[in-house]
Chains A and B, each alone.
Chain A
Amino acid sequence: MVAKGQKRKIHGDYEIGGSVWASQLQSVLDISMDKFHHDQALVEPSLLRSVLINNTLRQVQFEVESLSVVGNPKSQTYTELQLESDFSRGSPLMGHNTHTDEDFMAWSSEDEFSLSSAISAILKDLDAVIEIGGPGPCVSQRAPLGSIENVTRDGKFTQSGLRTERTSDIISSSSKIDTMYPSGLQDVALDKLLLDIDTTVFEPEVNFLQGFSVTADELVKCLPSMSKSSSLDSPSSSICHGQATWEIHEIEHVMDILMRTCPQS
């Protein structure tokens, strides 16, 4: 059964390997690669979007591989197809879809490797960008209750042990990238990684400030919740004056330390 809304063609056209299907495959591949490259330029692409695009690319790759394995020779020329509105993309694509039989097969063999590399690169990049920071210290580790079923898990758990310290995170993720990146992309990936890393990240005060704004006001706002002395129902002005003064002094003291150790710009 053809997709709804599509005009019925000669029966063979929408078969896997048919001209319509091949054109759709090309469209999907083009759009997916466009999005992949666009997302590469973003500092933090959406993980959901990336995963969906990657899976679509994998599906395209699978279709291409199955086509080449089956050895489905395309005896017809892919001329400009008068596709229905379901897969129409306007004239630029129509021109782009003109392939000869040999071009199509050549494309599939040459770009297969780059497709795999592209997919791998997407996910590794995401891992490199996202995992440099890791979650903050308030996320409990994988055995919050110390129960037995937590201990016997596989390597997923060991990874979490790295997240308590930021500096070890950076070292471990950079070494991970060294070993995992394909050679063609390694230099590019390392450059990107190094651009993302600020050398001041190795200094402890940056870890302290992770996720917090640096103003004293913000720290004061956070203090009531950390002090455990305030209850849910207490009014916002419940902090006694003496405690507030002491806490302001403490914050100033901390800020002094940070200013002394942090190089003046």
Chain B
Amino acid sequence: MAGVGGGNDFQWCFSQVKGAIDEDVAEADIISTVEFNYSGELLATGDKGGRVVIFQREQESKNRSLSRGEYNVYSTFQSHEPEFDYLKSLEIEEKINKIRWLPQQNAAHFLLSTNDKTIKLWKISERDKRAEGYNLKDEDGRLRDPFRITSLRVPVLMPMDLMVEASPRRIFANAHTYHINSISVNSDYQTYLSADDLRINLWHLEITDRSFNIVDIKPANMEELTEVITAAECHPHQCNVFVYSSSKGTIRLCDMRAAALCDRHSKFFEEPEDPSSRSFFSEIISSISDVKFSHSGRYMMTRDYLSVKVWDLNMENRPVETYQVHEYLRSKLCSLYENDCIFDKFECCWNGSDSAIMTGSYNNFFRMFDRNTRRDITLEASRENSKPRAMLKPRKVCTGGKRKKDEISVDSLDFNKKILHTAWHPKENVIAVAATNNLYIFQDKMN
């Protein structure tokens, strides 16, 4: 059966799975963000315990031409620690909300990671030499008594085992009262934005003690608050343009050239509500959980609870494409409201050529949509299908009537197994899918 994402002869195969197999999942191990770097060589994950794990793709072997290089652990470090806000008597979670890579400009790699309040710029570099013979400190690092130094020597570089070290180069703190939900690196590679529920700040990567507030939707009277910011992203090519989405299903595109403060949007994207499908939950399910520009910069994609929509930036009144992710849940909204699943924030992503999009669902299902052929496919991230190069079988949810052999009924779905975070390699058909505490990597297999 033809798959999605590359052409007619296309199948998704299992490649790798990372993470513990135990049924008991430690809260700290739950993956909270997944991101490929610009080349796809590195894959970063963040978890609820504040850790970042970076995988590096091994060089492709000539002998194994049918499969691409595997991803192995490259670096692991503790990005954020739990903190305590003494003023408000609140604990600040160490959970990594987002990771965004910076384009590589030299041998080192840089990424931004953020929790609810603080953004950090990390440098990941390789070290295969070390300097020995310092004047002011001993070989073990202890400071030497300056009065006992009677002669000077020049430190020499000695080879050592390859070590990958991660060091925090910048800490951008104290700029967000509310919880940070997005960070996005600007195409000028000098600035980036961070967004919380009510405000968006613009930072310079070199400057940590100040940021510009560019959007503020906090009303003077909090009683009037009916809408919050849910996601924000910089345009991939136009460094003056960014978008932010709201809990009411709207997207605002702002141009920083128009004003220093972008409270007034340049474009306002909203689809008129279908009155026939209105319910008590209409607003909740219209809340946008993720917004992503296409690589071309011409389109953007939004994810709400039940669907993914592709918008042409030149058309504000409706999306150009709408894909239903799990429409069978529409009749279950009350239950999903009761068990809080309706508040789950699913992410979405484009493939490298913008011809396909992917997003997650429940029961460890994830969905892919081919924009050209309009075909869609549902796949499952499961240990049962984890044999090397095993082809993934399409899954189907039975919505009523007689259930066929390989189908699963809506009532049998496991709502605790949700795929919120997915990533697509920027150039190849390799995808990373985070299923709770496991990271699955799938790739294509050309027939």
A196 adjacent to chain B (CB < 8 Å)? yes
B337 adjacent to chain A (CB < 8 Å)? yes
Q: How far is the CA of A139 from the CA of B170 in the complex (A)?
A: 16
Q: How far is the CA of A52 from the CA of B171 in the complex (A)?
A: 32
B67 adjacent to chain A (CB < 8 Å)? no
> Which of chain A's residues 13-27 have a Cβ closer than 8 Å to chain B?
24-25, 27
Stretch at the interface among A66-74, A103-111, A130-138, A183-191: A130-138
Given contacts A166-B87, A210-B86, contact A245 B143 (CB under 8 A): yes
Q: How far is the CA of A3 from the CA of B285 in the complex (A)?
A: 14
Q: How far is the CA of A31 from the CA of B335 in the complex (A)?
A: 10
**Chain B residues in 8 Å Cβ range of A79:** none
Residue on A nearest B218 in the bound complex, by CB: A156
Interface residue from B110, B208, B220, B330 paired with A225 (Cβ < 8 Å): B208
Do B165 and A138 touch (CB < 8 A)? no
**Chain A residues in 8 Å Cβ range of B167:** 236
A48 adjacent to chain B (CB < 8 Å)? yes
Do A135 and B171 touch (CB < 8 A)? no
Do A31 and B334 touch (CB < 8 A)? yes
**Chain A residues in 8 Å Cβ range of B328:** 5
Do B178 and A236 touch (CB < 8 A)? no
**Chain A residues in 8 Å Cβ range of B211:** 138-140
Interface residue from B165, B208, B287, B327 paired with A48 (Cβ < 8 Å): B287
Q: How far is the CA of A43 from the CA of B93 in the complex (A)?
A: 13
Do B86 and A206 touch (CB < 8 A)? yes
Given contacts A137-B174, A138-B208, A232-B206, contact A87 B222 (CB under 8 A): no
Min distance, Cβ B340 to any Cβ of chain A, angstroms: 8
Interface residue from A58, A124, A137, A198 paired with B86 (Cβ < 8 Å): A198
Residue on B nearest A139 in the bound complex, by CB: B175
Interface residue from A48, A136, A144, A235 paired with B173 (Cβ < 8 Å): A136
Q: How far is the CA of A134 from the CA of B167 in the complex (A)?
A: 29
Min distance, Cβ B136 to any Cβ of chain A, angstroms: 4
What 0/1 pattern do residues 117 to 146 of B give for CB contact below 8 A with A? 110000101000000001011000001000
Do A147 and B260 touch (CB < 8 A)? yes
Do B212 and A144 touch (CB < 8 A)? yes
What 0/1 pattern do residues 94 to 123 of B give for CB contact below 8 A with A? 000000000001101010000001100001
B147 adjacent to chain A (CB < 8 Å)? no
A251 adjacent to chain B (CB < 8 Å)? no
Do B223 and A27 touch (CB < 8 A)? no
Do A133 and B85 touch (CB < 8 A)? yes
Residue on A nearest B168 in the bound complex, by CB: A221
**Chain B residues in 8 Å Cβ range of A136:** 173-175
Do B247 and A198 touch (CB < 8 A)? no
> Which of chain B's residues 338-382 have a Cβ closer than 8 Å to chain A?
338, 343
Given contacts A5-B331, A211-B85, A232-B206, contact A25 B280 (CB under 8 A): yes
Which of B's residues lie within 8 Å of A, judged by CB? 81, 83, 85-91, 105-106, 108, 110, 117-118, 123, 125, 134, 136-137, 143, 165, 167-171, 173-179, 197-198, 201, 205-206, 208-213, 216, 218-220, 222-223, 225-228, 230, 247, 259-261, 276-277, 279-281, 283-284, 287, 327-328, 330-335, 337-338, 343, 399-400, 411
* New A-B contacts (6) at CB < 8 Å, excluding given A5-B399, A211-B83: A25-B280, A51-B226, A55-B283, A140-B212, A142-B261, A241-B136
Can you show 10 pairs from A to B with CB atoms below 8 A apart?
Answer: A4-B330, A5-B330, A5-B331, A49-B343, A87-B334, A89-B338, A140-B210, A145-B260, A209-B86, A211-B118
